[in-house]
Amino acid sequence: MKLHHSPASPYVRKVMASAIARGLDGRIEPVATNPHVSPAELLADNPLSKVPALVADDGTAIYDSPVICEYLDTLGDTPALFPPTGTPARLRAQILHATADGILDAAVARRLAMPHPQDDGRRAFDARQKAAVERALDVLEAAPPEGLADIGAIAVGCALGYLDFRFPHEPWRDAHPRLAAWFAEVSKLPPLARTVPVG
């Protein structure tokens, strides 16, 4: 399999962390890609010009990290990261996944807006995205994930790692001690330990 990736992308990290958890990382060939310049190789596999984009062994192009992660869950025989459909565990994992992706969407949007002139509109946008992250962290503090056994927990770990990576000047741990304790433990495990962002 081929994966268009950027080492700083938290969405790519989620895919690679899932692959490691499923024992599939050795089957994935990473291809360094800058989606902001829309290279032809990426556009051939993802018309949206976003990473990650995975090309399966049969040539099928798969994009958007939740879709890729769910596809990876169909390969191999290690325990699934997506609990069975219709179960409370599945719903909990999917809610965590959505919360984590919401944090990432807001944080990445803030990051991409940083180089631009900070007029009133951009400052209001930044404040709205920051507030969304803070509310999501409060929800996660009230009920942190357990371990790193499902896609929801992996996504939350990647989201918190991105906050540390891009917003170290906005510490979140003091106000969220239960979440911080969970993150400290799971950060030692291979899916997160081997995918720490760089760049």
- Give which of 27, 26, 32, 42 is closest to 12, Cα–Cα: 32
Indicate whether 118 pLDDT > 90.
no
14 and 97 inside one domain:
no
Could you count the other beta carbons within 10 Å of the beta carbon of residue 133? 21
Q: Which residue has the higher pLDDT, 197 or 187?
A: 187
For the segment 84-107, the average pLDDT, to the nearest whole number, is 97
Asked if the structure places residue 198 within a domain, the reply is: no
For the segment 85-110, the average pLDDT, to the nearest whole number, is 97
Indicate whether 115 pLDDT > 80.
no
Asked if the structure places residue 148 within a domain, the reply is: yes
Indicate whether 7 pLDDT > 90.
no
CATH code where residue 16 lies: 3.40.30.10
Indicate whether 113 pLDDT > 90.
no
Phi, psi for 186 (deg, rounded to 5): -75, -20
| Alpha-carbon span 150 to 191, nearest angstrom | 11
Using CA atoms of 108, 103, 19, 12 in order, give the dihedral in degrees to the nearest 10. -10
171 and 118 inside one domain:
yes
In 33-166, beta strands by DSSP E: 53-55, 61-63
pTM of the model: 0.95
Asked if the structure places residue 178 within a domain, the reply is: yes
7 and 97 inside one domain:
no
pLDDT of residue 112: 85
For the segment 27-52, the average pLDDT, to the nearest whole number, is 95
| Domain end marker among 42, 72, 102 | 72
Q: How many domains does the chain have?
A: 2
Please answer whether residues 101 and 92 qualify as being in contact, where contact means their C-beta atoms are separated by less than 8 angstroms.
no
Question: Which amino acid makes up residue 21?
Answer: A
Name the DSSP letter for residue 4: E
67 and 93 inside one domain:
no
CA angle 142, 21, 172 (to 5 degrees): 30
Asked if the structure places residue 80 within a domain, the reply is: no
In 33-116, beta strands by DSSP E: 53-55, 61-63
- Give the rounded distance of the alpha carbon of 9 from its chain centre: 8
181 and 136 inside one domain:
yes
103 and 179 inside one domain:
yes
Please answer whether residues 171 and 111 qualify as being in contact, where contact means their C-beta atoms are separated by less than 8 angstroms.
no
pLDDT of residue 122: 84
CB contact set of 167 (below 8 Å; sequence gap of 6+): 107, 110
Full residue range of the structural domain in which residue 58 is found:
2-72
Model confidence pLDDT, tens digit, residues 52-86:
999 999 999 999 999 999 999 999 889 999 999 99
